[in-house]
Amino acid sequence: DPKIIQKPKYLVAVTGSEKILICEQYLGHNAMYWYRQSAKKPLEFMFSYSYQKLMDNQTASSRFQPQSSKKNHLDLQITALKPDDSATYFCASSQYTQDTQYFGPGTRLLVL
């Protein structure tokens, strides 16, 4: 059974709309993360959360908002979508922020 679930697997959106990317982990971890992988850039760190509290935010835009409703959930809300937001978004988790990170399968977002 998959230990980190990301939904949906694929997502197509129109410019200006808003989407929520879902992430749930069943590893019993206390820290969760979001990374972005676009066509011409390496995996980029976006956010880290520990015990549902924001630890680090490396996104330049407030259009990206993580939401942690439960300890094992870290969703990513993206507002006012732009074509440049097209990328694969990976959720990851670890026991603590100093520990090995495990990645989910990703959500591939295409903004038209």
Partner 1 sequence: GDSVIQMQGQVTLSENDFLFINCTYSTTGYPTLFWYVQYSGEGPQLLLQVTTANNKGSSRGFEATYDKGTTSFHLQKTSVQEIDSAVYYCAMRDFVNYNQGKLIFGQGTKLSIKP
Which of residues 72 and 94 has its CB atom nearest to partner 1 in the complex?
A: 94
Q: Answer for the pair 34, 103: CB distance below 8 angstroms, yes or no.
A: no
Look up residue 87 and give its two tokens. 């990328």
CB-wise, 35 or 64, nearer to partner 1? 35
Q: Rounded to the nearest whole angstrom, what is the least distance from the CB of residue 51 to partner 1 in the complex?
A: 12
Q: Which amino acid is at 53?
A: K
Nearest distance from C-beta of residue 17 to partner 1, angstroms: 25
Provide the 8-state DSSP code for 73: B
Question: Would you state the structure tokens that stand for residue 108, as one six-digit string?
Answer: 């591939």
Which one, 8 or 16, has the nearer CB to partner 1? 8
The length of the chain, given as a count of residues: 112
What are the phi and psi torsion angles at 40 (to 5°)? -115, 15
Nearest distance in Å: CB 94, partner 1: 7
Q: In the complex, what is the shortest distance from the CB of residue 16 to partner 1, in angstroms, rounded to a whole number?
A: 29
Closest to partner 1 by CB, 66 or 106: 106
Q: Which residues bind partner 1 (CB under 8 A)?
A: 4, 31, 33, 35, 42-45, 48, 50, 55-56, 58, 90, 92, 94, 97-98, 100-106
Cβ atoms of residues 20 and 81 within 8 Å: no
Are the C-beta atoms of residues 86 and 109 closer than 8 Å to each other?
yes
